Amino acid sequence: MVGGGPAGLTFARVLHRHDHPVTILERDSAPDARPPGGTLDLHDQLGQLALDKAGLLAEYHALSRPEGQAMRILDTDGTVLRDWRPRPDERANPEIDRGQLRDLLLGPMDVQWGRGVTEVVPGTRDGVLVRFADGREETFDLVVGADGAWSRVRPALSSATPHYTGVTYVETSLDDVDTRHPDLARLIGDGSMAVYGVNRALVAQRNSGGHVKVYAQFRAPLDWHTNPDRHLGLNGRAGQDAGTGTGRDVGTGVGTGRDTGMDDSMDASTDAGLDLGDVEAVRSSLLALFDGWAAPVLDLLCHGTAFAHRPLYVLPASHTWTHVPGVTLLGDAAHLMPPLGVGANLGMLEGAELAESVVAASSPGDLDKAVHAFEEQMWARASNRAKFTMAGLDRLVSPDPAQAIALFDEVQS
């Protein structure tokens, strides 16, 4: 199994529960080699079902934050338009930090850290050949690519590559928010808070331990930073969205993190324009983009100490491939979609289902048939979800903010 994200680890953990051997290959040098990302809401019939198959549901409930299901929607002038809070017994989509979920899934698993895969070659005499960045090679009976948006396994099956959606996130964080920024803590509430304007939004999400992720979301060319005034239309923007007072702005929870198709590079631009490595320059451009919005809302951008540039990429919603014995894909490697709370959930369930199919196979022929049947089921389900999330992204970051609140109301109903 290639990749140590939620989908791959769920696959491995279910196999481990059934005493079935599995090798986990992860390019990162250690579990904490880079930040694990934000928070995930695990759905009762997707991610939670997968954890149940792995025997981890009770431990998940002990770690999760049911209060994190809360959602507040504010107008650009700071007026509260929606304030949805879960019932005391609501457990449909509790939140859990990605780092906590990773550690839960890892448990006793033995991971080969620092094993970056460069190529997968099916159909060799000894099985599926895997080539590594260090020059070594190994063969396996079945290689499962759960290595995210920029999968190194996917080229063995498909020529598809992710394409830019036209929406970029710029992420920052606040720590110890209840003590250091109590006004913002009250503004955000117990879960998520969103403010939507014309082709842009600000979303804040609580993680555990007083940590908050903040996402500035906007439509722009991929190279917007080379000339932000022109590409973001900053000239003459002041006050454009202030005090709409329409009751129209909405959002749904946004799950973000490692393998969601966000380009997590933060290299300084080599072109004339905005230096993406210059914290104050990025902050200034974002404040200009949201100029005219209520001061308490803009404070979400004023206290971050670093900004990460994350353009959103997706695979075609109808992405499939001709079945190749010995190789398959899970999660974002198979069906990269916008981070609207679906991708990780779907990938985890796929991991659990594929693992159960592997365990049930009694011969190499049965295994190949089981993998092929799994792929066909995955393609149909993922295609529907990918179309839904793309339509959702189009409504959430829209020329008409009324589309956002309409989507929120539909989801809640």
> Could you tell me which residues are annotated as the binding site for FAD?
41, 98, 332
Q: Is the distance from CB of 331 to CB of 7 less than 8 angstroms?
A: yes
DSSP string computed for 87-127: -TT--SS-EEEHHHHHHHHHTT--EEET--EEEEEEEETTE
| C-alpha pair distances (Å), 200 with each of 177, 231, 291, 302, 397 | 24, 13, 12, 17, 6
Residue 103 tokens read as: 């550690």
Q: Is the distance from CB of 371 to CB of 357 less than 8 angstroms?
A: yes
Q: 3-state class of 273 per DSSP? A: coil
CA distance linking residue 261 with residue 283, whole number of Å: 23
Token match 């899934």: residue? Answer: 105
Q: List binding-site positions for NADPH.
A: 34
Q: List binding-site positions.
A: 34, 41, 98, 332
Q: How many CA atoms lie within 13 A of 308 on its CB side?
A: 18
- Residue 297 makes CB contacts below 8 A (sequence gap 6+) with 74, 76, 78, 187, 195, 202, 290
CA distance linking residue 293 with residue 77, whole number of Å: 6
Q: Give the closest residue to 378 by CA, choosing from 330, 325, 316.
A: 330
Helix (H) or strand (E) holding 128: strand 127-132
Token match 């290959």: residue? Answer: 25
Q: Is the distance from CB of 215 to CB of 269 less than 8 angstroms?
A: no
